[in-house]
Chain A
Amino acid sequence: MLADIIQFDFLRNTFLTGIIVGIIAPLLGTFIIVRRLSLIADALSHVTLAGIAFGLLLEKKYMVTLSPLYSGMAFSVMGSIFIEKLRRVYQAYQELAIPIILSGGVGLSVIFISLADGFNTDLFNYLFGSVSAVSKNDFLMITGISIVIMIVITLFYKELFSLSFDEEHATVSGIHAKWIHLLFIVLTALVIAVSIRIVGVLLVSALMTLPVAASMRIAKGFKQMIGFSIAFGEIAVIIGLISGYYFSIPPGGTIVMVAIIILLLSISVKRITFRTQRKRDRK
């Protein structure tokens, strides 16, 4: 594949985008998991699908040549702000925001797809990812947004970490919880929108959660968990992309399967280490 990556622009774009997504998806995923918001990624990915369907509809019916990634991103960000508002309205039932937004996203997608009299391979690529769908413009846009996401996370790392661990303490000590929450959810929306080209709408939440679930079993401390999550995410993306390319399978599927294997391995390693330690303690 290495020779093909050098030879073909589209493969190079996909591969480099994959590497970037392999960093930012597990990075945000770490905060999502510890805040017990795993399903938010699913809700937002379905809203992104509605945005993509809207973009494709504009392209097909009205010849508007706007990359569906932009409309997907706009819908995702709007959906994230709406989730935050709903979570505040239903304070005692905050998880209600997720099915509301998820079903809203699917509903809108169905409407846009019907209005466009259906889509063909384009939509399939957005659903499950593609090794050949990342254009030069997509790559530049994804890189730019990812750099912004990484800078913002670095700048607000300590606030995000404090709020994730103990919101009451963080608020009492003077952190503006409301604004940091909003910032966090908008970042999540952006990560989902930029990851979709590689893993697809239906599997993007897996790339945000599976590497984190694996690293959680073995990491000591939060920073180490972030480090392991990114490493596992990268392994999953690289192996997934290569195998997807060779077997002509959408990479979303192969990436997720590699991530699941990593997860199973980390669970086994933890179990074996625990048993060995217990045997040693008994002696």
Chain B
Amino acid sequence: MITMKDVSFHYENKDVLKNINFEIPRGAFMGLVGPNGGGKTTLIKLILGLLKPDKGDIFLFGEPIHKFKAWNKIGFVSQKSNSFNKGFPATVYEVVSMGLTAKIGYFKFPTKRHKQKVLHAIDQVGMKEYTYENIGNLSGGQQQRVFIARSLVSEPELLILDEPTVGVDYENVQRFYELLHDLNTKKNITLLLVTHDTGTMTEYATDIVCLNQTLHFHGDPEAYCSLSETELSKFYGHPVNLVTHEH
């Protein structure tokens, strides 16, 4: 679904990504982990076409990124979603309907079918009872669900989430992962999740990629969990103590 071949990128004099090679297969739930400044968000921006690589090739759905036009196949929940203007007077319905703006296209108006899609996406993330509430009045976890619904409404085949659980309490994080798991297994949506929360993520992800300028690890959660603290410390560039959740 996404293929990166020898991708490198730098900001001014600083190398951010060096020779990245990896592939996200269809149906995967890939967790992307790594230290702050390790290049995770840059990698996402490269995949979304917001930045251009200095070197290497990116293929989306088998097409070179510069020829790729079907952006509505990709949903994106940004790291910044949570820091939106809380006073913005938009209802949940209005926010989710924004996910269809590009798909509907210029000079066209939403139809009844589009409205049904919006309501369905809201229902899918369990926010039906808040449909006409202002988004600023909701909790962090609920707002995050609304942003997922905004990405789901255009029926993407791939959903990219950049640290979506920052500032969300533990219980809601757990519900959030269950929602992602359902989307992945029942709706067959491929997921790429950037997170620091490796504990919960390893319970649900099918693949894990560890990034710190270069790709340090790519494998399944079992292999990731079996890594020693010395190996993890080498990836992260500082001592790491692995904490696991016991349920």
A-B contact count (CB 8 A): 86
- Within residues 12 to 42 of chain A, which ones have a CB less than 8 A from any CB in chain B? 34, 36
- Interface presence of B104 (CB below 8 A): yes
- Within residues 115 to 162 of chain A, which ones have a CB less than 8 A from any CB in chain B? 155-156, 158-159, 161-162
Q: Which of A34, A159, A169, A174 contacts B72 (CB 8 A)?
A: A174
B203 CB, nearest partner CB in chain A, Å: 28
Q: Contact: A220 with B95, CB < 8 Å? A: no
Residues of B within 8 A of A161 (CB): 90, 94, 98, 101
Q: Contact: B89 with A221, CB < 8 Å? A: yes
**A158 and B103 alpha carbons, distance in the complex (Å):** 11
> With A173-B99, A173-B154, A174-B102 given, is the CB distance from A165 to B76 under 8 Å?
no
> With A166-B98, A220-B91, A223-B94 given, is the CB distance from A172 to B48 under 8 Å?
yes
Residues of A within 8 A of B98 (CB): 158, 161-162, 165-166, 169-170
Interface residues in chain B, defined as those with a beta carbon under 8 Å from any beta carbon in chain A? 48-50, 71-72, 76, 78, 80-81, 84-85, 87-91, 93-95, 97-99, 101-104, 106-107, 109-110, 132-134, 150, 154
Residues of A within 8 A of B48 (CB): 172
B173 CB, nearest partner CB in chain A, Å: 22
Q: List 7 A-B contacts (CB under 8 A).
A: A165-B98, A172-B49, A172-B78, A216-B87, A221-B89, A221-B93, A225-B89
Residues of B within 8 A of A216 (CB): 87, 89
Q: Contact: B84 with A165, CB < 8 Å? A: yes
Residues of A within 8 A of B134 (CB): 220-221
As a 0/1 sequence over residues 178 to 205 of chain A, the CB contacts with chain B under 8 angstroms (1 = contact) are 0000000000000000000000000000
Q: Contact: A34 with B110, CB < 8 Å? A: no
Residues of B within 8 A of A168 (CB): 78, 80
Q: Contact: A158 with B110, CB < 8 Å? A: yes
Interface residues in chain A, defined as those with a beta carbon under 8 Å from any beta carbon in chain B? 34, 36, 155-156, 158-159, 161-162, 164-166, 168-175, 216, 219-225
What are the nearest 9 A-B pairs in CB distance?
A: A221-B91, A174-B102, A173-B102, A162-B98, A162-B101, A174-B71, A158-B101, A225-B89, A222-B90
> With A222-B94, A225-B89 given, is the CB distance from A175 to B102 under 8 Å?
yes
B44 CB, nearest partner CB in chain A, Å: 10
Closest chain B residue, CB of each to CB of A168: B78
> With A173-B99, A216-B89, A221-B94 given, is the CB distance from A166 to B132 under 8 Å?
no
**A175 and B154 alpha carbons, distance in the complex (Å):** 14
Q: Contact: B107 with A155, CB < 8 Å? A: yes
A149 CB, nearest partner CB in chain B, Å: 16
**A36 and B87 alpha carbons, distance in the complex (Å):** 11
Query: In this complex, which of A173, A174, A219, A223 has the most chain B Cβ atoms within 10 angstroms of its Cβ?
Result: A173
**A172 and B44 alpha carbons, distance in the complex (Å):** 11
**A34 and B98 alpha carbons, distance in the complex (Å):** 15
> With A34-B85, A159-B101, A166-B84 given, is the CB distance from A173 to B71 under 8 Å?
yes
> With A166-B98, A174-B72, A221-B134 given, is the CB distance from A158 to B90 under 8 Å?
no
Q: Contact: B132 with A220, CB < 8 Å? A: yes
Q: Contact: A165 with B95, CB < 8 Å? A: yes
**A164 and B88 alpha carbons, distance in the complex (Å):** 9
**A222 and B135 alpha carbons, distance in the complex (Å):** 11
Q: Contact: B132 with A34, CB < 8 Å? A: no
